[in-house]
Copies of this chain bind each other. A is one copy, B any other.
Amino acid sequence: MSKNTSGYIRSLAEKSRKAARIISSLESKLKDTAILKMAEYLETDTDELIIENQKDLIAGKEKGLSSALLDRLQLTPQRIEGMATALREIAALRDPVGEVVAQWKRPAGFEVGQVRIPLGVVGIIYESRPNVTADASGLCFKAGNATLLRGGSEAINSNLAIVSRIRKALMDTGVSPDAVQIVETTDRAAIGHLLRLHEWVDLIIPRGGKSLIKRVTEESTIPVIKHYEGICHVYVQQEADLEMALRIAVNAKVQRPATCNAMETLLVDSGVAREFLPMLADEFKKHGVKIYGCDKTSLHIEVNKVATEEDYRTEYLGMICNVRVVEDMEEAIDHIAEFGSRHTDVIVTDSYQAAHRFVAKVDSSSVMVNASSRLADGGVYGLGAEIGISTDKLHAYGPMGIKELTTKKFVVWGNGTLRV
């Protein structure tokens, strides 16, 4: 069985590689036509998609999935329209392939330049949300890559239904449908086999829970770009405008607490703790945010629990916030380095020097001055559709858009030029 799975996964990867070679130099116009057709087919087949999704929902309920998971799994006409809209936005993006990033002359008498090319075959291993199927395929395809999808078993019927529309759109446009493939078996061994096919797959992007990402990191012989957890901090510096700090803290925590760029820990400078913490406690109470505070915090306000180191390392994704009073900015920076996840960290300050120093010293993928961590997003930054937010420093760090799905090759224009 697992041996059959191994052969099956390998044959998929070989087909992806073949398709990747063909689509790497497709005309932009043809790619956009195919992507627009994908959007169209998803919309016209809304009813069929919802029928397939029902199968997953029923199976999910039987397996006892949480209501939050079931909600993420569900397709509605509105969510399907959302997928179509996202695809149309991808079609409207500028094609990154072929862009000459730079070109220069060398004394030896040749020119050398760097040209953007697709990565090749991108493997996406993900859980739950079926919209990832359409978003990731569309974005990878626009960047000239073949996509090999491995969705969660809980969404298998929904994912297969979406992929069949995508492949139909490719075929109707005269493009090899193998440009987008999905692993059709739910055999868990499939992931292990996929992760060792570095000869055919150029990049693995895992999107899902910690255990999935841990497994992929440990087993993969293919380069991986992780979208790991977001333990984001807001540091209220001594010279902060406290009203602004309060607005930012509340927005960062409650605007959408289940996202990776929501704040998990608020660091308050000891010089303003006495004044700021009561303001914060009031607002958090109004919004139903529980406070896990350090010893010094509880000198000023009532806390729901004393914060432990474990708490500082926890991504709550909900209405809990750690609050810690720090002596000075150095202690805040040290806290972020020790407990943060290099996702997004914020300073609120009116001091030029403090802002400058925080930005220089914190090496998270997004470092912000006087802004809510919730702004860390490819769309908000103006990068267009994003495939996720990388917490890995290699290749892409932070919101990862279509450009990060490409690489650059060197092109040398010689005239019989030799090495001497």
Contacts and interface: CB of A to CB of B under 8 A. Distances in A.
A contacts with B: majority SS: mixed
Given A106-B382, A247-B416, A369-B414, 14 more contacts: A25-B360, A120-B393, A223-B223, A223-B224, A225-B394, A363-B409, A367-B412, A368-B412, A369-B411, A369-B412, A374-B418, A397-B408, A397-B409, A398-B409
Nearest to A416: B244
Contacts of A248: 416, 418
A397 B86 CA distance: 30
A366 B410 contact: yes
Copies in the complex: 2
Interface string A237-266: 000010010011001000110000000000
Nearest to A417: B371
Given A375-B108, A413-B369, A198 B217 contact: yes
Interface string A358-393: 011101111111111011100011100000000011
A85 interface: no
Given A198-B217, A394-B395, A418 B372 contact: yes
Contacts of A370: 413-417
Interface residues of A, number: 70
5 contacts: A108-B375, A110-B375, A365-B409, A368-B414, A371-B416
Contacts of A306: none
A97 to B, nearest CB: 10
Contacts of A255: 418-419
A136 B100 CA distance: 29
B418 A202 contact: no
A367 B24 contact: no
A104 B382 contact: yes
